Amino acid sequence: MMLPLRVRTLSTAWGFALIGALASLPVAAVINWLPNSEATIGGGTMTIGAFIAGVIAVIRSADPDAAGLRAGFLDGVLAVLTFIVTVGTAVAWPLSRVVFFVFASGLILCVAPIFGLGFGRVGGWVANTVASR
């Protein structure tokens, strides 16, 4: 007798966070290319991606805080990976710089979900306000 294949799906909050993070990439890239823009891809996706995830979560009757928190984490990982690819391969890495980078990456991965939570909540509030009019 064959057992049914177990398929795992993402939770709704993770799905909305992934959609928000992916949808924010083109917007963050355009903002990064603007003249005199100090924005980075990681920072732009951290705010815009969580906002989009919060909006989608409210529209689909889910928790915008959870979606924003997860989007912030995903975008924090994106910010760290972007830094590794752009700067990490171009400079020499003495031990003190490696220790600082590990500490700073851990700090970014702890703070990014907090920003995501805030912007997800703002996105949910905007979606509720627009929908109630």
**pLDDT at site 8:** 72
Residues 65, 121 contacting (CB under 8 angstroms): yes
**pLDDT at site 3:** 67
Q: What is residue 13's three-state secondary structure?
A: helix
Q: What is the pTM of this model?
A: 0.83
Alpha-carbon torsion (53, 58, 61, 64), positive or negative: positive
Q: What is residue 28's three-state secondary structure?
A: helix
**pLDDT at site 10:** 76
Q: What is residue 108's three-state secondary structure?
A: helix
Which of 47, 106, 101, 44 lies closest to 77, judged by CA? 106
**pLDDT at site 104:** 92
- By CB atoms closer than 10 A (0-12, 13-18, 19+), residue 85 is exposed
Angle (CA) 53 108 51, round 5°: 15
pLDDT in tens, the chain (133 residues): 566 767 677 788 899 999 998 998 888 888 888 888 777 777 788 889 999 999 999 999 889 999 999 999 998 998 888 888 887 777 778 888 889 989 999 999 999 999 999 999 999 999 999 988 7
- C-alpha span between 52 and 64 (Å, rounded): 10
